[in-house]
Amino acid sequence: MSFTSDHKVLVQGITGALGVLYAPLMKAYGTQVVAGVAPGHGGQRVADIPVFDLVEQALGAVGKVDTTVIFVEPYRVLDAALEAIAAEIRQIVLITEGVPPLDMVRLARKADRVETLIVGPDSPGIIVPGQVLLGTHPPEFYTPGSVGLLSRSGTLTYEVALQLTQAGLGQSIAVGIGGDRIVGSSFQQWLQILEEDDQTDVIVLVGEIGGDSEETAARYIAEAIDKPVIAYIAGRTAPKNQPMGHAGAIIASLVAGWGTEVGTADSKIAAFKEAGIPVADRPSQISDLVKKALSSM
C-alpha cells in the first residue's frame, strides 16, 4: 500500500463547504486532484478542477483514479463510497463525521470483499509529507522523514506532527484512522502496512479513551510488529465515572481478560506497557522517546 505524488485523486463532494476549501489546498500541495464529483454541478470547475455529476463520468474523462477523498454529508457517504468502489477505486478516504453506524457496517463488508482500503470516517485523512495530501492535515506542520504517525484524533495528530518536526524528526506518513464508532481500517491494518513500509523506521501511535482499539493494537504489536512503536493516550484527565466506551468493548474486554476498566486511559496505558511499548505522559515527550528508539536500532 503506497501513496505517492503519481497517484490520481478524485474529490467527491467538491462543491460543498469542505470540498471547496480543501480540494484546492490538496492540489496546491502537489496532489494530483484530477476531478471532482458533485451531482447537479457537472461542468463546473473548482480551482480549475473539472467537476462531474457521477464518478463514472469523471473516470471516463480522466482515466483510472487511485484514491477518492469524500467530503459529502453523513447520510450520503455510503452511496458515494459504493459508487467509488463500483468504479474500482480501491483507496477511499472518508473525512465526514457522524456516518450512520449501519452504513459503515455495510460499507466495511463490501470493501473487505473487494480489497478496498477505507480510511475514516471522521478522519483528517492521510499525508505523505512532500508527496501527497489526502484530506485536511495542515501540511506546514509536517516534513519528510521516517516516523510513521497513526492516530484516532484529528487536531492532536497535527500537534504531535509539529512537535516531531520541531525536534528534527520527519514523518514518512500520517494517518487519521477516524474517530467515529465504526471505522473502515484499524490500527492493526495500518501497523502492518507501516511494518512493511521501507520509508518507516519507527511508529508513533496516538490513541484516546473509549473503545478497545488501543488494547487490541497493543497485543497485535507484541505479536506481529518488529519496528519500535511509541504510544500516547489522550484523555487521561477524563472523569473515571464517565462511561466513554461501548457495550461491545466491555464484553470483549471480559472475554479477553482485560477487566471492566477497558476504554479508560489506565487500561490502554497498561496494555501498552505490558506489551513493552514506551508510553509518553504528554505529547512533548514523544520526540525524546522516538529519538531513543532510533538510537537503539
Q: Which residues are catalytic?
A: 246
For 102-130, letters b (16+ CB in 10 Å) and e give ebbeebbebbeeeebbbbbbbbbbbbbbe
Residue with cell 483528517: 124
Measured CA distances, 232 to 137, 168, 174, 194, 284 (Å): 19, 19, 15, 18, 10
H-type alpha helices, 40-186: 55-62, 77-86, 101-113, 155-166
Those residues with Cβ within 8 angstroms of residue 225's Cβ, 6 or more apart along the chain or in another chain: 191, 192, 195, 203
Cis upstream peptide for 121 (omega within 30°): yes
* SS3 state of residue 8: strand
The helix or strand, by DSSP H or E, that contains position 251, with its residue range, turns out to be: helix 247-256
Joined together, the cell numbers standing for residue 38 give 458533485
Residue 290: name the closest of 182, 199, 200 by CA.
Answer: 200
Cα 104–Cα 110–Cα 115 angle in degrees, nearest 5: 115
Give SS3 for 289. Answer: helix
Query: Do 117 and 92 contact (CB within 8 A), yes or no?
Result: yes
For 39, phi then psi, to 5°, come to -55, 130
